[in-house]
Structure 1
Amino acid sequence: MFDSEQRYQFEDFVTDTRLAKADEDLFRLLKRAVAQHGYDRLSLWVIDDPDLPQRVHGRGVLHNFPEDLRVYYKENNCDAYDPVMQALKMQTGSLDWEAHEKRSNYQPAQTRLYNVARDGGLHNGVSTPVWGRNGLLASLGLASAEQGDATRANLDLIGALTAQFYLSYKRLNAQTPSPRAKTTGITPKEAEILSWVAAGKTDAEIAVILNISRNTVDTHMRHIFARLDAHSRVTAVVRAIADGLICP
């Protein structure tokens, strides 16, 4: 799942973000991590996270997107029709802005929004959702100031970086202790299965490796999601690594 050839290793990103003492330090680490994929524009949007105070809710809580684009977005109430955000609410993985535009029938206001974004220097955009038990908590938008094939996106790794970044952001800003702090961890069998997930194996492949049925793997994965309060495989892996439950 994780590209071992990246100069800034994911394991180091986990360690560094866990040690970060301020939002600015955390954001700097994320910029370093995603720069290796060709992204140099970042924006965190906290949508609806009950663990975080209202003062940190909203678009661009941490960002380096162009200010004129942020003004356009607010003045034109773009959150009501932003096609990427609408689509993001329907899926668990990262969403490529340009690919979504090509396969969708945008309304004029939606096309205008993304033309403004491109004219403002946002290209090759990707947004990654952060899900919780109560729905969509936040999203992280990434883009490149360069046109063309400037990015080298590994969307699984982008998802993992986003999950770890947001966990650390919540650690610094949560108004109440996270319910996940009460977790008792995972069983040895669950840790074994999740380690194979981190290695990029599918449920079917894990079933063959461990000589168990695919239904048994699925049952273990559902227990893992519940124990770690995770909505996806990537989030489960990231949280298990961060808590020292598995080693990548």
Structure 2
Amino acid sequence: MSAVHRSVLQHELIQIFEAAAQIDSATSATEIIRQLRKRIERYGYAACLITELPRQDTGMLDEHILVNGWPGEWYEHYMAAGYYRHDPCATLCRGAIEPFLWRDVYHGLTNSNARRVMDEAKEFGLRDGICIPIQDAFGDPACVTVAGSEIDLAPAARCTIHALARHAYSAAERLIGNSRRQPRQKLSEREREILQWVAGGKTAWEVSRILGISENTVTTHQRNIKQKLNAANVVHAIVEAHRRHEIEL
């Protein structure tokens, strides 16, 4: 590497460190947005969103957003249309590990609702973007999305975006996420016992016979279990309880 290239690289690294420090020291969501945009606009990224990712069947994203830097009209349209249910980037983000491009998601779409979400985003100036999947302190999915009309996809630009996006998420989580998060509810001993039997293939009636309680009581416990684990169904509850180390499989 030549002396000139080393000098350029050092300058870029210093800029990233300085930008990260500014984002880390932000004291409000507005300041996070301002500092992040200030650093990424040079690469063509004008919009950003930092959000936790609830189950998509709820259709409710707004209460999980940590920092909203989307164009106002697109945000209102997206929410009014319930597009979170069909957003293919949100779907992929929930299970992805590495950052990915919107264009790569779009090229593989066969679902018309998912394609509509991305087509209409383009009408609001969000023609392409990058999603950076993140897991929060509890292992739950979150995401930072940055987008624009013409974005720089050079390796140096993408490295900068990825690094600053993670700092922005950490700052948002520190300022907003922790303050509003409810303490995680743990299952009671009886709930764990019931779910353990259900995970072993037992029906509600069979569990009631094993434990000497009514089938209605078992069903009530199952309903409470799903609420505590924010699970769509019993299978989802089993998976979530195992992930939290509350039952064994």
Do both proteins adopt the same fold according to a TM-score greater than 0.5, normalized to the shorter chain?
Answer: yes
What is the one-letter code of the residue matched to 1:68? E
1:109 to 104, 108, 113: 113
Give the C-alpha shift of residue 138 in structure 1: 2.0
Corresponding residue of 2:89: 84
Unaligned runs of 5+ in 1: 49-55, 178-248
Bigger relative CO (Cα 8 Å, ≥ 6 apart): 1
Distance in 2 of aligned mates of 1:141 and 1:166 = 10
Give the C-alpha shift of residue 23 in structure 1: 2.0
Unaligned runs of 5+ in 2: 1-8, 55-61, 182-249
Corresponding residue of 1:162: 165
1:123 to 122, 127, 135: 127
Q: Do residues 13 (structure 1) and 16 (structure 2) align? A: no
Q: How does 1:8-157 map to 2 (within 5 A)?
A: 9-47=15-53, 57-59=63-65, 61-102=66-107, 104-144=108-148, 146-147=149-150, 150-152=152-154, 154-157=157-160
What is the one-letter code of the residue matched to 1:157? T
Deviation per CA, 1:118-163, whole angstroms, max 9, x where unpaired? 011102211111213533442111111x34x655464333222121
User: Closer, same or farther in 2 for the Cα pair 1:134/1:23, shift >3 Å?
Assistant: same
Distance in 1 of aligned mates of 2:140 and 2:51 = 11
Larger radius of gyration: 2
Give the C-alpha shift of residue 176 in structure 1: 8.5
User: Closer, same or farther in 2 for the Cα pair 1:6/1:39, shift >3 Å?
Assistant: farther
User: Closer, same or farther in 2 for the Cα pair 1:8/1:137, shift >3 Å?
Assistant: farther
User: Closer, same or farther in 2 for the Cα pair 1:113/1:18, shift >3 Å?
Assistant: closer
User: Closer, same or farther in 2 for the Cα pair 1:37/1:152, shift >3 Å?
Assistant: farther
Query: Please, what is the CA RMSD of the aligned residues?
Result: 2.8
Contact persistence 1:6–1:36 (CA under 8 A): no
Distance in 1 of aligned mates of 2:70 and 2:174 = 24
What is the one-letter code of the residue matched to 1:10? I
Contact persistence 1:47–1:58 (CA under 8 A): yes
Distance in 2 of aligned mates of 1:138 and 1:77 = 19
Contact persistence 1:93–1:128 (CA under 8 A): yes
Contact persistence 1:92–1:129 (CA under 8 A): yes
Corresponding residue of 2:237: none
What is the one-letter code of the residue matched to 1:165? A
Distance in 2 of aligned mates of 1:95 and 1:57 = 24
Distance in 2 of aligned mates of 1:160 and 1:8 = 13
Give the C-alpha shift of residue 98 in structure 1: 0.9
Contact persistence 1:124–1:143 (CA under 8 A): yes
